[in-house]
Amino acid sequence: MRKLFWLPAFALIVAGLFTAFRKPSLQAGLNISMADTVQFPGETHFRNIRQLTFGGDNAEAYFSYDGRYLVFQRTSAANGLPCDQIFVGRIPEPGKPFEYKMISSGKGRTTCGFFTKDGKHIIYASTHLGGDECPPVPDRSKYGNKYIWPLYNSYDIFMADLDGKIVKQLTSSAGYDAEPTLSPDGKKMVYTSVKDGDLELYVMDLKSGKEKRITHTPGYDGGAWFSPDGKKLIWRASRPKTEAELTEYKSLLSEGLVAPTNMEVWVSDTDGSNAKQITNLGQANWAPSFMPDSKRIIFASNHEYKRGFPFNMYTMNGDGSNLQKVSRDKGFDAFPMFSPDGRQIVFCSNRNNGGTRDTNIFIADWVD
């Protein structure tokens, strides 16, 4: 999920194309001259790119407010992680390994980790109150092999300290609550919930717990972020246009499912006013966030490819104009986030995975 919960299966759509298996070495990850590379020709915005993780599915890596740490989610069956758990690690100096530790309990499935302003806590969504095991994935054959996400009712949002102790439960509705991010001042949380019968966005004041629903249109609204100046929100949304599309959407939703294959990028003021769609590209346009100037936008999309992949990252102006392609991977690039000072970008990619299904975390200096 950008904030997906997490959109892991988009990566798997691409990753399923690969059949060979080879675990890349650290040296291979740092050598951009190899055929299986960390940087492709035309990626002129990236300089000093580094691969931080090697193996497993690593996604939704986001900076702490001071820019020194990353929080991310990780699945690795080989390491006893059958579904996503939340990890934190300090960004290493060049040439040093990225070391990280698990913050979530290891129970259930987790998603959407985000640092608090004080740097001492993490918020994330988890299903652990619904059971210790990973919740079952849907049988897509029952839906014509349509690509669908499960909306587990047991997802709620929690706050934990850096030792993994849960200090507060932030949501407790009977349905799906997930995809949280925080405002630049750390005081407000935007998240997605089905509590009112549809997948809508809510903004909560963390101190008081008071909240406001800010979207009201049938369809999926999720993966929302505040702009760096705190004045705007940006998110991904599906908007069923025909009666048949709306019927299908509601039918899937009643079963705790959503088909996120058609999404566009939306923006609004932080109170939900002046909402407008700013892309009209078709297919899946998601993981959007404002760039450091709070004017331009970066997002992931497969709109160039009717077969549904690759996914690459693009930038555009705040009104959707001046679309420019940033990444050139033939697989999956997504979840871009800029460091607080705007000098670095972190993203997740299938690149340099040795022909495996691995998705890894990459960090680079940003060249504007």
Q: Is there a domain that residue 361 lies in?
A: yes
pLDDT at 35: 57
pLDDT tens-place string over residues 102-117 = 999 999 999 999 999 9
Please state, in angstroms and rounded to a whole number, the distance separating the CA atoms of residues 108 and 134. Answer: 5
Q: Rounded to two decimals, what is the model's pTM?
A: 0.91
Contact 248, 268 (CB under 8 A): no
Rg over alpha carbons for the chain, rounded to the nearest Å, is: 19
What's the rounded mean pLDDT across residues 336-345? 98
The answer to the question of residue 3 being in a domain is no
Angle at 135 between CA 348 and CA 16, to 5 degrees: 40
Provide the domain limits for residue 123: 8-366
Q: Residue 2 falls within a domain, yes or no?
A: no
Q: Do the domain assignments include residue 29?
A: yes
Q: What residues form DSSP beta bridges with 364?
A: 345
- Nearest 5°: phi and psi at 277? -85, 130
Reported as a single tens digit per residue, the pLDDT across 279-326 is 999 999 999 999 999 999 999 999 999 888 899 999 999 999 999 999
* High-pLDDT (> 90) share of the chain, %: 87
CA distance 305 to 119: 40
How many structural domains does the chain have? 1
Q: What is the CATH number of the domain that holds 190?
A: 2.120.10.30
Residue 1 counted as domain residue: no
Q: What is the pLDDT of residues 24-57, one digit of tens each?
A: 222 233 333 335 899 999 999 999 999 999 999 9
Which helix (H) or strand (E) covers residue 363, if one does? strand 360-366
DSSP codes of every residue in 67-132: SSEEEEEEEEGGGTEEEEEEEEEEPPPTTS---EEE-S-SSS-EEEEEE-TTSSEEEEEE-GGG-S
Res. 124 pLDDT band, cuts 50 70 90: very high
Three-state DSSP class for residue 197: coil
Closest CA to 258 of 249, 268, 270: 249
Is 168 part of any domain? yes
Taking phi over 0 as left and psi of -120 to 50 as alpha, with beta for the rest, 68 belongs to: alpha
Residue range 54-99, pLDDT digits in tens: 999 999 999 999 999 999 999 999 999 999 999 999 999 999 999 9
Tokens representing 343 are: 């000098």
Q: pLDDT (tens digit, 9 = 90+) per residue, 126-163?
A: 999 999 999 999 999 999 888 899 999 999 999 999 99
Distance of CA 147 to the CA centre of its chain: 17
